[in-house]
Amino acid sequence: MDHWPFRNLVLNTPRLELRPDDDEGLAELADLALDGVHPPDRMPFGVEWTDAPRERLGLNTVQHFWDVRSRLSPQRWTVNFIVRLDGRAVGVQSLGADDFPVLREVTSGSWIGLRHQGDGIGTEMRAAVLVFAFDHLGAVAARSSAFDDNLASHGVSRKLGYRPDGTFTQVRRGEPARQTRLLVTPGTFRRPDWALRVTGVTPCLPLLTGREPAE
Residue 181 lies inside a defined structural domain of this protein:
yes
One digit per residue, pLDDT tens: the chain, 215 residues?
788 999 999 999 999 999 999 998 999 999 999 999 999 999 999 999 999 999 999 999 999 999 999 999 999 999 999 999 999 999 999 999 999 999 999 999 999 999 999 999 999 999 999 999 999 999 999 999 999 999 999 999 999 999 999 999 999 999 999 999 999 999 999 999 999 999 999 999 999 998 876 65
Show the domain range for 75.
5-202
- Can you tell me the distance from the alpha carbon of 160 to that of 126, in angstroms, rounded to the nearest whole number? 9
107-115: long-range contacts at Cβ-Cβ below 8 A with a sequence spacing of 24 or more?
A: 107/142, 107/143, 107/144, 108/142, 108/143, 108/144, 109/144, 111/37, 111/45, 112/37, 112/83, 113/32, 113/33, 113/35, 113/36, 113/37, 113/89, 114/35, 114/36, 114/37, 114/38, 114/39, 115/35, 115/36
In eight-state DSSP terms, residue 51 is: G
Q: In terms of C-beta density within 10 A (0-12 exposed, 13-18 middle, 19 or more buried), how is residue 123 classed?
A: middle
Give me the pLDDT at residue 1, please.
Answer: 74
Q: Residues 102, 76: contact at Cβ < 8 Å?
A: no
Phi-psi region of 51 (alpha: psi -120 to 50; beta: other; left: phi over 0): alpha
Residue 195 lies inside a defined structural domain of this protein:
yes
Give me the pLDDT at residue 59, please.
Answer: 96
Looking at residue 99, which CATH number applies to its domain?
3.40.630.30
Residue 84 lies inside a defined structural domain of this protein:
yes
In eight-state DSSP terms, residue 135 is: I
Give me the pLDDT at residue 214, please.
Answer: 63
Give me the pLDDT at residue 212, please.
Answer: 76
Give me the pLDDT at residue 32, please.
Answer: 96
Give me the pLDDT at residue 213, please.
Answer: 65
Residue 207 lies inside a defined structural domain of this protein:
no
Question: pTM of this prediction?
Answer: 0.96
Give me the pLDDT at residue 11, please.
Answer: 98
Residue 115 lies inside a defined structural domain of this protein:
yes
Residue 213 lies inside a defined structural domain of this protein:
no
Residue 27 lies inside a defined structural domain of this protein:
yes
* Total structural domains within the chain: 1
- Can you tell me the distance from the alpha carbon of 100 to that of 160, in angstroms, rounded to the nearest whole number? 22
